Chains A and B, each alone.
Chain A
Amino acid sequence: MSKQALVTLPLLAVSFVALLGCPAGQKGSDPPADHSATADKGKAGESDGNHDKAASPAAVPGDEIFVGWPKPKLAIVITGEMNGYLEPCGCAGLENQKGGLARRHTFLKQLEKDGWPLVAVDLGGAVGRYGRQAELQYQLVSDALAKMGYAAVGFGPKDLRLPEGLAAVVANDKNHQLIAANVSVLEQTQPFRVVEAGGMKVGITSILGEEYCKSVKNDLVAVKNPRTALAEIVPQMQKECDYMILLSNAKPEESETLAKEFPQFDVVVTGGGAEVPDHLLTHVDGTKTVFVELGHKGMYAIVLGLPEEKDQPPRYQRVPLDARFADSPDMKKLMADYQEQLKQMGFEGLGIREKLHPRAHAPGDLAGQFIGSAMCGECHKTAYDIWSKSKHAQATESLAKAVPPRLADPECLSCHVTGWSPQEFLPYEGGFKSLAETPRLAGNGCENCHGPGAAHVAAETGKDLVLRGQWRETMKLSKATAENQQCAKCHDADNSPEFGHKGFDYYWSKIEHKGTR
């Protein structure tokens, strides 16, 4: 062996020792040095690229996930507060919107495929509205969470308002996923659940906050004080579990108080937080309890990675469920079934009843009847021409072309057709029914902004000049009214986030029309 080789080999070995000595990626090793995703908020006041890794904000370019994570002993995936947003609707472009069951499933499957021991829990809050459609949504979310293998699911305050949907879900809850310490639905709810994963016994319970308990008015549901309920079960949970999670359907202030009163919980997940969850790990002041907010509409999942060492804090990751996660075929099928159910039930089955337009004084009043944009175009040719080239004119078509089509979904129709109340998801009397029955009301037409046109048309063809003048005035819509009252009914933060970014004037320029031509 040459002298060169004799010198080289030991140094090569040193190099590999340097490599092997690095802790990350080795089972049972210490966490790696990069704590960018695990920084404790309590210490994270400042940012210093070189010297204080623990205080670094999220990794480049802000939305990477699990940077520097070794395989955790156990990953706890926390979701909830979907508020009825089962999927990003795509109105504003799917690449701009986050959330949805289909992406969530893909994310969970990836972690599973990577061999991470998982416990998935959901705070609850599946629905945001009341009525038959919300009942269907609640059942769909429950089916989806069961399919995704969730260990435990709590009850959001709006979930508990549902009558039959809640009963159906509870009756089908064969695995006792639904848990609550102080809520009992049909006297069948288990107070807590213990699951084993990653060599740990994880106990999960949920509560409904005191303020929300006061507003529960559902014969199927019995509630009691959350403190009393927790005091009853916490000792038992402590006996049975290594790690304890409280899903608190309460406002953050109340959840924090409960966390202090019951420091036995390692994690407290709260409802009612801000729209976007924190990107750093947060503790309840003066305790070791991890405090988790979820954000709204199921746009994010939170993952806590428990290290092998018991005394170490968990790693924390806010996962934006964006377009990087493909749609899971299983969830897509559930969504397609849901659209089919909506179609089968029809508006009658969904309890959708026409309401009078605010301009109408009684049923059948011409003041509240819609005529369709084409008729408007017979006189207002320039305005109609601008409208017919705009996306407003294609609004219904876009629902028909969607996969699956959304033409039976009132939550979509309300902004994609003519003659519906956008914020109430209800048709006005004489508003759009279907492409077959009311083709003239396809598209987000003139009358959605200017009001129903039948009385105006009648006045134009009649002999009463005073009435004609009055209706012409009534049909006018100023730019200021459009900006302050009208457009935002559909172009809201949920369905049109770009509207706020680019501003009213940008969108106005796409549809601007003046005068009576």
Chain B
Amino acid sequence: LPIQTREELDMRTWFLLALLVVVGIGIGVGVALGVFNPAPNASDAGNAAAPAADSRMPELPPSDGPQPHVRVDKTEFDFGEMERRATGQHSYVFTNRGDYPLKLTSGGTSCSQCTISELPKDDIAPGESASVILKWTPRSEEEHFRQTATIFTNDPNQRSITLTVSGRLIQSLALAPPELVFNNVTPETHSESKARLLVQSSQPVKITGHSLTDEATAAFYVVSYAPLAEKDVPTGYKSGWEVTVTLKPGLPFGAIHQRIRLKTDLPDTPEPEITVMGNVSNGVSVFGHGWVAEAQVLRLNVVKRGAGTKRTVNLLVNGPHRKEVSFRLLSTKPDFVKVTLGEPARLEAVTQVPLTIEIPPGSPVVNCLGGQGHELGQLLLDTGQPTIGQVTLKLQFAIVDG
């Protein structure tokens, strides 16, 4: 190696030292900013979550020269109240406070209902400003909305900017609630529920008629409507109607599905639709693993003869006679099926009784799966209450050798 002069040595030393200081401080700052992901325990979640750099991002300027510096006056905008399907727009002003041209590209939006309709095509010169316009057409049924749009930049300190739009949707006609539920309706009684049709505009609206989409059960529904008294109209609405839906006795057991379309004299407005849901039962319902309400069947599936099986479900009794019910086993089919009725829990609105069904180990091989001449098993219970009478629970199972 050539002999170095004292000056050369000093220069090298100082250069090396300066480099070390820069590197050390750089690492320190990097750690502070999380660039090097120093939190050892946060690393996996952070790394797993970090998406790769996006190809839509504009190229960065050379790091040793002038830089752009983006500034946005306000990244959030509240549209306030908006009509559903109306289109709103807002202009966000981007200013370049740096000394290198600022480039913007679209990073997409959080939903199709929000679009970046205008993005500066040319670079924003230092000291200049340009607008990014977001357009928003709410189609959702929800009252509140918030969507974001991402703008990528070539500012190394802020590679992306999230613009947010938010607001509240109003509609000329609103149903509260839009769905009516009739839980555990008994076939012999009337049931009633109410919804309100609320009107936002000051122009009076009249319900002129209605139709039901499920014609097969339409005869069991009575729909009536009356204007709401002024005091009953909630804040934010000008008027309203009370819609009463009554179920007549005779609906078949099982699920209720119906839709009631209300006709109004408001032009160019979709017909408000009340969804009616629920179920018709005899006042006694069962819950627990394997219970199929519509078929009134408890599925025990295939049981090995040597092992047997045991299953506990719960009987729930609602309706006016719930407190008078006292279950008693009348019979089982096949007769080797064992049944234990637990202590009833008499709650305010329901009576709950645990019911354990056991197929003891060593029971004979049998097919009670139903179909093709194989009858389902069953339990016959007396409720001790004359109106409800007896209750039959079907059992679906087969016992096989093993």
The finding on whether chains A and B are genuine partners in a shared complex, rather than unrelated, reads yes
Q: Is the interface of A mostly helix, strand, loop or mixed?
A: loop
| Chain B residue nearest to A161 in the complex (CB) | B181
Contact of A132 with B299 in the complex, beta carbons under 8 Å: no
How near does chain B come to A138, taking the closest CB pair, in angstroms? 12
Which of A57-65, A372-380, A393-401 touches B?
A: A57-65
The one of A23, A47, A252, A274 in contact with B75, judged by C-beta atoms closer than 8 angstroms, is A47
Contact of B38 with A61 in the complex, beta carbons under 8 Å: no
A235 is an interface residue with CB less than 8 A from chain B:
no
A84 is an interface residue with CB less than 8 A from chain B:
no
Q: How far is the CA of A345 from the CA of B159 in the complex (A)?
A: 52
A351 is an interface residue with CB less than 8 A from chain B:
yes
A8 is an interface residue with CB less than 8 A from chain B:
yes
Which of B202-210, B290-298, B328-336, B387-395 touches A?
A: B290-298
Contact of B42 with A499 in the complex, beta carbons under 8 Å: no
Contact of A276 with B144 in the complex, beta carbons under 8 Å: no
How near does chain B come to A12, taking the closest CB pair, in angstroms? 6
A200 is an interface residue with CB less than 8 A from chain B:
no
B70 is an interface residue with CB less than 8 A from chain A:
yes
A497 is an interface residue with CB less than 8 A from chain B:
yes
| Chain A residue nearest to B29 in the complex (CB) | A22
Contact of B48 with A493 in the complex, beta carbons under 8 Å: no
With contacts A18-B24, A275-B145, A275-B146 known, is A499 near B112, CB below 8 A? yes
Q: Is the interface of B mostly helix, strand, loop or mixed?
A: mixed
Q: How far is the CA of A7 from the CA of B159 in the complex (A)?
A: 40
Q: How far is the CA of A115 from the CA of B13 in the complex (A)?
A: 44
Contact of A355 with B213 in the complex, beta carbons under 8 Å: yes
Which of B125-133, B240-248, B343-351, B376-384 touches A?
A: B343-351
| Chain A residue nearest to B142 in the complex (CB) | A275
Contact of B349 with A64 in the complex, beta carbons under 8 Å: no
A68 is an interface residue with CB less than 8 A from chain B:
yes
| Chain B residue nearest to A21 in the complex (CB) | B28
Contact of A217 with B183 in the complex, beta carbons under 8 Å: yes
Which of B14-22, B219-227, B303-311, B361-369 touches A?
A: B14-22
Contact of A113 with B70 in the complex, beta carbons under 8 Å: no
Contact of B111 with A497 in the complex, beta carbons under 8 Å: yes
Q: How far is the CA of A61 from the CA of B152 in the complex (A)?
A: 7
Contact of A47 with B53 in the complex, beta carbons under 8 Å: no
Contact of B29 with A163 in the complex, beta carbons under 8 Å: no
Task: List residues of chain A with CB within 8 A of the CB of B111.
Answer: 275-276, 493, 497, 500
Task: List residues of chain A with CB within 8 A of the CB of B179.
Answer: 130
Which of A164-172, A240-248, A444-452, A460-468 touches B?
A: A164-172
Contact of B158 with A66 in the complex, beta carbons under 8 Å: no
Q: How far is the CA of A25 from the CA of B39 in the complex (A)?
A: 4
Task: List residues of chain A with CB within 8 A of the CB of B72.
Answer: 46-47
Contact of A61 with B107 in the complex, beta carbons under 8 Å: yes
The one of A4, A61, A218 in contact with B150, judged by C-beta atoms closer than 8 angstroms, is A61
Q: How far is the CA of A59 from the CA of B112 in the complex (A)?
A: 22
Q: How many A-B residue pairs have CB under 8 A?
A: 298
Instruction: Mark out the residues of chain B between 26 and 40 whose CB falls within 8 Å of any chain A CB in the assembled complex.
Output: 27-29, 31-34, 38-40
Q: How far is the CA of A497 from the CA of B112 in the complex (A)?
A: 6
Instruction: Mark out the residues of chain A between 138 and 181 whose CB falls within 8 Å of any chain B CB in the assembled complex.
Output: 161, 163-165, 167-168, 171
With contacts A8-B13, A130-B277, A274-B166 known, is A324 near B287, CB below 8 A? no
Q: How far is the CA of A432 from the CA of B112 in the complex (A)?
A: 31
Contact of B28 with A132 in the complex, beta carbons under 8 Å: no
A370 is an interface residue with CB less than 8 A from chain B:
no
A56 is an interface residue with CB less than 8 A from chain B:
yes
How near does chain B come to A405, taking the closest CB pair, in angstroms? 20
With contacts A18-B24, A186-B350, A276-B148 known, is A64 near B51, CB below 8 A? yes
With contacts A164-B285, A168-B287, A355-B216 known, is A46 near B74, CB below 8 A? yes
B197 is an interface residue with CB less than 8 A from chain A:
no
The one of B76, B158, B193, B214 in contact with A356, judged by C-beta atoms closer than 8 angstroms, is B214
A104 is an interface residue with CB less than 8 A from chain B:
no
The one of B53, B70, B294 in contact with A349, judged by C-beta atoms closer than 8 angstroms, is B294
With contacts A66-B45, A66-B46, A349-B294 known, is A58 near B21, CB below 8 A? no
Contact of A22 with B292 in the complex, beta carbons under 8 Å: no
With contacts A58-B162, A493-B113 known, is A71 near B20, CB below 8 A? no
Contact of B32 with A24 in the complex, beta carbons under 8 Å: yes
Contact of B33 with A62 in the complex, beta carbons under 8 Å: no
With contacts A348-B294, A355-B257 known, is A66 near B287, CB below 8 A? no
Contact of A187 with B107 in the complex, beta carbons under 8 Å: no
Contact of A344 with B299 in the complex, beta carbons under 8 Å: yes
- Cβ contacts A433-462/B at 8 Å (1 or 0 each): 000000000000000000000000000000
Contact of B28 with A19 in the complex, beta carbons under 8 Å: yes
Contact of B9 with A4 in the complex, beta carbons under 8 Å: yes
Contact of B74 with A161 in the complex, beta carbons under 8 Å: no
A–B complex contacts, Cβ < 8 Å, 30 sampled = A7-B17, A8-B13, A19-B24, A19-B25, A20-B28, A22-B29, A25-B38, A46-B75, A58-B160, A59-B160, A62-B107, A62-B148, A63-B49, A66-B49, A68-B32, A68-B34, A113-B44, A130-B278, A131-B255, A132-B294, A163-B316, A218-B183, A222-B349, A276-B147, A278-B146, A279-B164, A293-B146, A349-B295, A424-B257, A500-B112
3 nearest A-B pairs in the assembled complex, by CB-CB distance: A15-B24, A500-B112, A68-B34
Q: 16 additional contacts, CB 8 Å, given A24-B39, A61-B53, A348-B292?
A: A15-B21, A18-B24, A32-B34, A47-B71, A64-B49, A65-B50, A70-B42, A171-B314, A217-B183, A219-B184, A219-B349, A272-B142, A275-B145, A296-B142, A493-B112, A498-B112
